A and B are shown apart, each in its own frame.
Chain A
């Protein structure tokens, strides 16, 4: 089933399905291993890395993301009733370039999606996969789960936009199709050197890795890409993540089967550090966090995937905001 068909199905049955999801899915006991882990108070008060610790001082026990996510999804889908099936805004709609443009801003955090050049994928390019629903649904969760003053809507910015550096957190996906222009290479290099943080998501297998690696080496040729160990602070800034879950695309997730695509059998979280040891780029390879955010409200979408996707992204953002 194509994404547009899935969306249409979801929209047509939205309210009913959400009710069902509330009654069955979210309220049920379908906890993923990672979920159970993070709900243990002991794990929340551990100090997994020298000099860093996340502590929960609430008297009523550990925080659970389940209820907030559920509430957030309900609101998102309700708001989604008016969405067209094919979201085709004008080309310049996303080009904000200024943090103060939104009425309540500037906020402390903007979930900023990179608009980059790449091989054609639909009308809007590969950068726009899952856009904007995934961004909005993730932001609903982020605002509910944390106290980050996050702008509630999507914020896509071209790499060459002079205002890009006003958004220190950047999200890019489907980078297997990325093909940066020289201007974009220079802009991204400048962004990262100035202090920006880039989160990569949703690309699979050797071929796409090689394409991404080629492009990112044009940006940062002097730095190597390394695997982030599970004791890295990123996995403990908010949730304690003990293992990496491979989040498949929505089609596989809903209907079962293998979770990988192409030859991307094992999920990885890799990073690029600068000379001072600052993490510049977090690379989520062989996994699709964006799909999990986008379909988190779907009662047929497995909860462990969306839970893990929210946890890893929340951790990544808090890490970026504090390191």
Chain B
């Protein structure tokens, strides 16, 4: 029921009923009223029981009920029902009018007029009924807000250029500003966009405590008819230089189902990725994977965009920027190969020119005899596979290739598990006669870590005879950065089709729940597709399984051209991804990667010792280097909330990249250090998720005792706000006996009785 209809039938607006207290004004005692009501009812029943003639029992019941209802309504009116409401004393109270001054108010979704147009018409134009009605009873105080709250004299100075909107801050500020005057309420003119990180609950609680009702006026439409928005981008914060970076781009659209758009990723040097995306006909949201290469070390901003489409209501939300910290460091990987085979040589060659991956090889050449390659000093791996966690945790990645499980002691097996779960390292097992189930891993602790389900096999059991499989990416794998072998998805797909087959001796057909399969292999001699490459998260790290035993054939096979880089590319991407997110002893995070000037940055450092146990008694310092080169050193305090977690805050002022360097010491020894970056820029998130957020505004109204309006219903605002309980008020009794709805009911009931008698032929 619309408000105007409600008011026509019930005389007053719903808000008045909501705010008022219902009473009967008649001086009769309630017991007398009840007695009269009872007697009237009994008389009606008795009278109709005696009615004879043509009427039957049903007729008598119907007629008695109608007559009783008529009597009840009449009696209700005689009792003089009324509402006792608070009414603001005219010109004694203040009303704060908060006007959203952010960029989203420029969105033209009010019949091609911008949202700000309503503000201009309602509060800026001469002779505005709304402004006059409010001014008649209240003293008005205007505020504009976006990322700051300002007192203004009217709406004229507003330019709607704020690039952030903090609703809570605005409500808190206005409440405090008007705390010393009788305040009837706050009128909030906004689309409901709120970019604050902390939410609005605290502000609502404060308003309730101060009995300040908020009357939001929602500007804009709740759903665009035609729009494309890049709503979110998931991207790794840190990658190694030269890595293939995979980003998940979440695209939301309205009215473009079935259309094909071009998704572009670009940086300062130009376009780094480009692909066609067909927007789904069903549903508003789709996830697109884009991959590109991050070459230059340092903080890099990548822009993901879709060209504006015809008829779009908002085009500014077609692009987003992301910050990626490209690090030029050498991540160490231990490759333990149980016996000499070509994989070692070809893998080392594949990584030969990759300066960001440092592969150390421990290769068993005979019983208890090892060949160590690319070791840093004579002691490294001297006794074979590491026997302590400190030794193993030096590496970020671990590859097990053709290593029978009995070559690892029970403690070493548990160390491998802990390497993944506690240290957060990356584990990769490669297929072979002594790998997976054929290597005796089924039932071992390491099997728990692997993403594949191992068939039960005794260690030393003869491996399956080799099976040639043709390998293809899965639907998900096709868009995974590890699997990209060409610049475009289509080229990559075609490249995979042309690769020669490999062989497997470890038949594996299923992955664990939660694991992801990237590559599968098919063969007529296999009952179902072979799992070729799968991964899963395990604790803080990840585990991968690559089941073929001769990937070097993708380098040596006579069908592979000499200039082909499949083998090198695949292994570089795979191993970079293996160690991409592996934390060091000091792990540095910020709540976001991009901030506006003046926003507080929370720096969190997680500190662990050599065995990756959290350390609470270390001295942790953050060194902040501004874009201009100014350094600031901040001590970081243990947060108490979590073991090994330290926090510090700073407020950047300059635009540009801030370098954050965190170092941790304990008893004079360096535990670790880590560097990260944030970008400080004039961020504009105003055009994202820019439809009017009616639920949030409704919630503010409901929880503060106000009422939510749209431009169509805002005419009731002056009267409603006059009945709020805030400010200086007097109690007023409003009669209800003359509500039109009561007389309509009486007429209808009498008419029904007459019609019924006529139809039934009753007197």
Contacts and interface: CB of A to CB of B under 8 A. Distances in A.
A195 B556 contact: yes
Interface string A155-170: 0000000111110100
A139 to B, nearest CB: 14
Interface stretch (A52-60, A205-213, A221-229, A304-312): A52-60
B124 to A, nearest CB: 73
Contact of B340 (A63, A100, A278, A322): A322
Interface stretch (B84-92, B372-380, B414-422, B753-761): B372-380
Interface stretch (A2-10, A101-109, A111-119, A251-259): A101-109
Contacts of B468: 100
Contacts of A276: 349, 352-353
A109 B340 contact: yes
A54 B369 contact: yes
Contacts of B650: none
Interface string B558-590: 101010000000000000000000000000000
B553 interface: yes
Nearest to B385: A57
A317 interface: yes
Contacts of A318: 340, 365, 371
Contact of B370 (A57, A108, A195, A196): A57
B370 A58 contact: no
B348 interface: yes
Interface in B372-417: 372-375, 378, 381-384, 402
Interface in B204-236: none
Interface residues of A, number: 46
A189 to B, nearest CB: 9
Interface string A50-87: 01111111110001000000000000000000000000
Interface stretch (A25-33, A143-151, A175-183, A282-290): A143-151
A89 B352 CA distance: 43
Given A148-B340, A195-B346, A318-B371, A54 B552 contact: no
Contact of A58 (B368, B503, B553): B368
B558 A163 contact: yes
Contacts of A195: 345-346, 349, 552, 555-556
A102 to B, nearest CB: 10
Interface string A184-197: 00000010011110
A55 B372 contact: yes
A88 B552 CA distance: 34
Interface centre among A162, A164, A317, A322 (most CB of B within 10 A): A322
Contacts of A321: 340-342, 344-345
A34 interface: no
Contact of A52 (B372, B466, B552, B557): B372
Interface in B443-479: 465-466, 468
Contacts of B363: 322
Contacts of A163: 558
A111 B512 CA distance: 40
A54 B556 contact: no
A54 B364 CA distance: 10
B383 A165 contact: no
A63 B366 CA distance: 9
A323 B348 contact: yes
Interface in A88-142: 99-100, 103-106, 108-109
A238 interface: yes
Given A55-B382, A147-B364, A193-B562, A165 B556 contact: yes
Given A106-B550, A166-B557, A195-B552, A320 B345 contact: yes
Contacts, number: 141
Nearest to B563: A193
Nearest to A314: B365
A52 B384 CA distance: 14
Contacts of A47: 378
Main secondary structure of the interface of B (DSSP, over half): loop
A240 interface: no
A58 B370 CA distance: 10
Contacts of A148: 339-341, 365
Nearest to B434: A149
A246 interface: no
B340 A146 contact: yes
B342 A100 contact: no
A145 B369 CA distance: 11
B368 A147 contact: no
Contact of B558 (A147, A165, A238): A165
B111 interface: no
B557 to A, nearest CB: 6
A322 B345 contact: yes
B378 A53 contact: yes
B562 A166 contact: no
Contacts of B549: 108
B567 to A, nearest CB: 9
A57 B341 contact: no
B433 interface: yes
A106 B466 contact: yes
Contact of A322 (B361, B552, B553): B361
A52 B556 contact: no
Given A109-B341, A321-B342, A323-B348, A57 B433 contact: no
Contacts of B268: none
A237 interface: yes
A278 B365 contact: no
B382 to A, nearest CB: 6
Given A51-B373, A54-B365, A100-B468, A165 B557 contact: yes
Interface string B330-348: 0000000011111011101
Nearest to B376: A51
Given A100-B468, A100-B503, A321-B341, A57 B349 contact: no
B562 A100 contact: no
A166 to B, nearest CB: 7
A194 B555 contact: yes
A146 B349 contact: no
B367 interface: yes
A103 to B, nearest CB: 8
A232 B309 CA distance: 64
B344 A53 contact: no
Contacts of A166: 553, 556-558
Interface in B482-504: 503
A42 to B, nearest CB: 13
Contacts of B383: 57
Given A105-B466, A195-B555, A168 B368 contact: no
A168 B503 contact: no
A55 B370 contact: yes
Contacts of A58: 367-369
Contact of B374 (A45, A51, A109, A320): A51
Contact of A63 (B345, B369, B402, B553): B369
A56 B348 contact: no
Contact of B369 (A55, A164, A196): A55
Nearest to B382: A55
Closest 8 pairs (CB-CB, A-B) = A108-B341, A58-B368, A321-B340, A53-B372, A147-B339, A162-B558, A165-B556, A165-B558
Interface of A: 45, 47, 51-59, 63, 99-100, 103-106, 108-109, 145-149, 162-166, 168, 190, 193-196, 237-238, 276, 278, 317-318, 320-323
25 contacts: A52-B375, A53-B375, A54-B365, A54-B369, A55-B372, A59-B368, A63-B369, A106-B550, A108-B432, A147-B338, A147-B365, A148-B341, A168-B556, A190-B562, A193-B562, A195-B556, A196-B556, A238-B369, A238-B371, A276-B349, A318-B340, A321-B344, A321-B345, A323-B345, A323-B373
Interface of B: 338-342, 344-346, 348-349, 352-353, 361, 363-375, 378, 381-384, 402, 432-433, 465-466, 468, 503, 549-550, 552-553, 555-558, 560, 562
Given A317-B340, A318-B365, 7 more contacts: A52-B371, A54-B369, A148-B341, A148-B365, A168-B556, A195-B555, A318-B371
